[in-house]
Structure 1
Amino acid sequence: MERIIGSGRLGASECPHHDSTAGGRARGRGKCAVLVDGVTVASRKNELTHVDAEGRARMVDVTEKSETIRVARAEAFVGMSASTVKLLRDRALPKGNPLEVARIAGIQAGKKTSDLIPLCHPLALTHLDISIDVTDSGARIEAVARTKAETGVEMEAMTAVAVAALTLYDMCKAAEKGISIGPVRLLEKSGGKSGHWVRADS
């Protein structure tokens, strides 16, 4: 697995695609070596859009991109015991209605995604809806986010379900400390250059 740790810099002498002359820049799309805390780590050039040519984290410039309608759908699962599920269905938990509180928390979090995830663009969401289905083994949370913008709303949808799941844990933890969360995953996205994508097992 390839990874970059810390704030390493591309070393010109270590990268076969790097022009070592003054002012030279990386060439091509091959693998380059990144020196990170004294360790050489493999990296593929230009595959991670939030990393610049020198290995630094950056916000992607979307100024020249066209606005299109963007839609994303994500889900999260919250696993709990049968006794906690019964309390949830009977609305017998001490903090009130966990499902409604979790739903509102997820909507609020989706609108605040760029405050939570450092390199996300602030987006004006035009729609964000969250539904929660209680099952025999816990709850399934789904969010649908929409906007008209230069970049997608995948992170907004995933942040919404993640925070809704955490809120559901908080609302139910008095009854059960061993509640689990996950997976949290993107189900579908549309809009933009990459077009329509749907998770195969969704």
Structure 2
Amino acid sequence: MTTQTPIRNRPLPSGVYSGRPWRIHEITEDFDLEDVWALPVQGGADDFPRFVEALMSGDDRDFPAAYRFLFAVRWALGRMLGTDEDEHGLGRRVASLRDRLPDNLRDHPAPERDTSPFQPLYLTDREYAAEIANRTMHGVLHLAWVEDATAPDGYSAQMSVLVRPNGLFGDVYMRFIKPFRYLVVYPALLRTVGRRWETARGMGRCDVSSLSR
């Protein structure tokens, strides 16, 4: 039986992201750090790629109804207002950050998920990054595997969100959605991420035990 890692209900100080030598810093100098969150995910030194795979392979139905409803409304408004049209996306309104990747990161492609609006940038043994762009902003999702003395196996996961708003409209939009992110999006996301990882770890332990018989 496993015990899920406790969920932190407040973002972390910005220094836990900006003070570390993450590779993402090399391509996001003109982005602002929006949030840093401790994910309820712990593991060993070699577990990060498996965590990313577990996160990306999940079904959106894992999320609570309130979370799915909020995003359904968000995408409906996007269609109504035209904020998500191709002309505002990556390679159109803004250039993809893939163009900024140094050669030694281009050699670390990240897994893709057809249903995700995010486009992957890279995956290493300690970092994953993906991007999204629309009429309101250009955003980056960054996952990191951090040494953690309080974690039983020595590592825990963090998630950072970076944004570059598109002018005044983008600034107003980001301010408007912030309460919804904190009240609905992040709590649901953290719980679901934690459950997906516990499920993946449980399956891994079952596989190992079956091989040892």
Give the alignment's TM-score, normalised by structure 1: 0.32
Q: Which has the larger radius of gyration?
A: 1
Give the alignment's TM-score, normalised by structure 2: 0.31
Structure ranking higher on relative contact order (CA contacts 8 Å, 6+ apart): 2
